[in-house]
Amino acid sequence: MALSAAAWLWGPLAWRLWRRANIRRQPFPPPWRETLRRRMPAFARLPADVQLRLKKHAQVLLAEKPFIGCAGLQVTDEMRVLVAVQASLLLLRRRGHFDSLRQVLIYPGAFVVNRQAPDPAGLVREERQALVGESWQQGQVILSWDDVLAGAADPHDGRNVVIHEFAHQLDQESGAANGAPWQSGAAARARWARVMAAEFQTLQQQLGQGVEGLIEPYAATNAAEFFAVLSELFFEKPLELASAHGALYAELRSLYGVDPLSWMNTSATSSALKH
């Protein structure tokens, strides 16, 4: 009975792990490599081992997650690969592959949504908003293809819609987004909460005084947006973030298990591109 129960419980997990290992053993298709060469110039400047890990994570995402075009958009492999590789930056040293994610929806450009918002009188009214990305707790990520391209083309402007929305997905894996993605260890969680709360309060105080710095004002919306914006800066402006907000950088380095500062000025070899 116990063995049967164990097989029933662990069977699906074992099958998934075996399948993922098999996917990682497959070569990265040459057309996909060409997409990265043309659309994501920073990829070739990453260390060879990072390139390889990104590609293997992306292969799993591409095999497991459906990509759906919206507003008449026909999804291509170029779109799928560019989203998956950028999203995989968040997975380099983490377990799982956005296991709660069910699908990725891609619009040609910014998309319009209807939102209910209270006005100054306290009445709720409906307003239309143009968005470039969104992440839902139900397991959807919605992206503007124009902005996916822009994020990949300029890796140092601190703006990347894929990183931003997939950071929300990490945050939402354990419930509603609250700026505290899951971490093992009570001490790590307590330190994260302490540092993030202090820095978030400081940001709001500075903005209230009209002082703007590295972290854009949108990050002060709530704790979830603070985390997502910081994730963009961590991967795209690591030197600036580490210099201006060392404690924040250290927390993100611990969370993601990588140090983008160590990738700077690295002459990546082409060996990883051959696997």
Q: If phi over 0 gives left and psi between -120 and 50 gives alpha, with beta otherwise, what is residue 265?
A: left
Task: With cut-offs at 50, 70 and 90, classify the pLDDT of residue 17.
Answer: confident
**AA identity, residue 29:** P
User: Distance of CA 188 to CAs 23, 34, 67, 176, 251, Å?
Assistant: 32, 40, 34, 20, 9
* Tokens coding 131: 């968005």
* Measured torsion, CA atoms of residues 47, 252, 95, 83, in degrees rounded to the nearest 10: -60
For residue 98, tell me if it sits in a domain: yes
SS3 assignment, position 19:
helix
* Tokens coding 119: 């006005």
Q: Tally Cβ neighbours within 10 Å of residue 89.
A: 25
For the ranges 173-177, 229-233, 251-255, which has the lowest average pLDDT?
Answer: 173-177
For residue 5, tell me if it sits in a domain: no
Closest CA to 189 of 246, 238, 254, 92: 254
pTM of the model: 0.89
For residue 241, tell me if it sits in a domain: yes
Q: Which residue in this structure is represented by tokens 């603070």? A: 226
For residue 133, tell me if it sits in a domain: yes
Considering its fold, how many domains does the chain have in total?
A: 1
Query: Residue 225 and residue 249: Cα distance in Å, rounded?
Result: 16
Answer whether residue 167 shows pLDDT above 90.
yes
Tens digits of per-residue pLDDT, 40-81? 999 999 999 999 999 999 999 999 999 999 999 999 999 999
Query: Residue 125 and residue 141: Cα distance in Å, rounded?
Result: 26
For residue 6, tell me if it sits in a domain: no
Q: What is the DSSP string of 196-250?
A: HHHHHHHHHHHHHTT---SS-GGGGS-HHHHHHHHHHHHHH-HHHHHHH-HHHHH
The reported pLDDT for the residue numbered 187 is 95
Query: Residue 144 and residue 83: Cα distance in Å, rounded?
Result: 11
For residue 8, tell me if it sits in a domain: no
Span 239-265, average pLDDT: 95
Query: Residue 232 and residue 168: Cα distance in Å, rounded?
Result: 11
Q: Tally Cβ neighbours within 10 Å of residue 274.
A: 11
Query: Residue 271 and residue 52: Cα distance in Å, rounded?
Result: 9
For residue 2, tell me if it sits in a domain: no
Residues in Cβ contact with 8 at an 8 Å cutoff, skipping those fewer than 6 apart:
none
Q: Domain residues for 33?
A: 16-274
Query: Residue 82 and residue 32: Cα distance in Å, rounded?
Result: 9
Q: Which domain CATH number covers 170? A: 3.40.390.10
Query: Residue 83 and residue 59: Cα distance in Å, rounded?
Result: 11
Tens digits of per-residue pLDDT, 91-146? 998 878 899 999 999 999 998 887 656 656 666 666 778 889 999 989 999 999 99
For residue 204, tell me if it sits in a domain: yes
